[in-house]
Amino acid sequence: MPEYNLQDPTDVDILRGQFNMLTAEDFDEYIAIAEERNMHYKNINILKSSQRKAGMAKYLSPKVLKWVLSLMEQLDFEEEE
């Protein structure tokens, strides 16, 4: 995942755009994988709370958006291996 500057409005808009492309079904898959791998409960909870706000990135802070997207990228990377 590229390094985003959370103080830069352009980077925050990019994060919001990436998050808004995700659906609740996408989050279901990631939550199942995270639970299967026994990830830390905070990571699973942030995925579940983000699932309820799928497509509505304006309600999440840039820090949370970055956290969720990096978790999803980590899960994708581990799936490929």
pLDDT 10s digit of each residue in the chain, 81 long?
Answer: 778 899 999 999 999 999 999 999 999 999 999 999 999 999 999 999 999 999 899 999 999 999 999 999 999 887 776
How many helices (H) does the chain have, and how many strands (E)? Answer: 4, 0
> What would the pLDDT profile of 43-64 be if each residue is shown by its tens digit?
999 999 999 999 899 999 999 9
Q: In 3-state terms, what secondary structure has residue 7?
A: coil
d(CA 74, CA 46): 14
